[in-house]
Amino acid sequence: MTKLSVNINKIATLRNARGGNVPDLLKVATDIQKFGGQGITIHPRPDERHIRYQDARDLKSIVYTEYNIEGNPERSFIDLVLEIKPEQVTLVPDAVDAITSNAGWDTIKNKDFLTEMVQEFQRNGIRTSIFVDPVLEMIEGAKIIGTERIELYTEAFAHDYGLGNKNGIDPYVKSAVLANELGLGINAGHDLSLDNIQFFNQNIPGLLEVSIGHALISEAIYLGLDNVVNMYLQKLK
């Protein structure tokens, strides 16, 4: 069964809109795990506009499933991750002012930099995952870098699927086949939802984990967090 890691950035965004501590990020993380979620993902950004660095620290004692911290490996992020030592760090090439992630790494152009980053995290016992587009050369580049996993950037698939084009899955299938051949673990995320997750999961060989935030939290407004977490778990079987 593919694991579900819930990205709770949107909970922090809602909290920060009014100040104070409503909704309580730590309680939400606790409840997600109680409801069956198999991991918690956060993506702190330098301006702390949603997840704050202190949130990342506070969550360490709350997350008893698997803790995944994703972000652009600038020095402040690196230091935070090394301090917390989550189970997994996902490296994402975000611009400082990016609203959300919008591209995977060029693992060829950034080979030396990413190799250094991956080795630093691995020396500290942290599993690494590199955010990549479904491009075979980028998958091969990730293998050379030495990361344990890749995270497939699924926005293009989700867009195509929403238009009724199921062929948008094809480059992801090819990427997954290659990743499996190379011994890379496969994660996936971005714009996955209750509408498309089952199709994606059923067609990607060796998919280990999906991280879902925006859609899941939005769906929970209508259906409730407990219900939505369990609906995803059913579709990921």
Residue pLDDT, tens place only, 79-121: 999 999 999 999 999 765 555 567 899 999 999 999 999 999 9
Let me know if 159 is a catalytic residue. Answer: no
The reply, when asked if residue 104 is annotated as ligand binding, is no
Which is nearest to 131 in space by CA: 89, 91, 86, 96?
91
The terminus-to-terminus CA distance of the chain in angstroms comes to 5
Domain limits for position 186: 3-235
The reply, when asked if residue 18 is annotated as ligand binding, is yes
Let me know if 87 is a catalytic residue. Answer: no
Single-letter amino acid code for the residue at 30 = T
CATH for 102: 3.20.20.70
Rounded distance, CA 166 to CA 66, Å?
Answer: 31
Structure tokens at 1: 């069964």
Which is nearest to 66 in space by CA: 41, 30, 91, 92?
41
The reply, when asked if residue 191 is annotated as ligand binding, is yes
Give pTM, 2 decimals.
0.95
Domain count, the chain: 1
Q: How many of the other CB atoms lie within 10 Å of CB of 220?
A: 20
pLDDT in tens, 219-234: 999 999 999 999 999 9
Q: Which of 66, 190, 209, 219 is catalytic?
A: 190
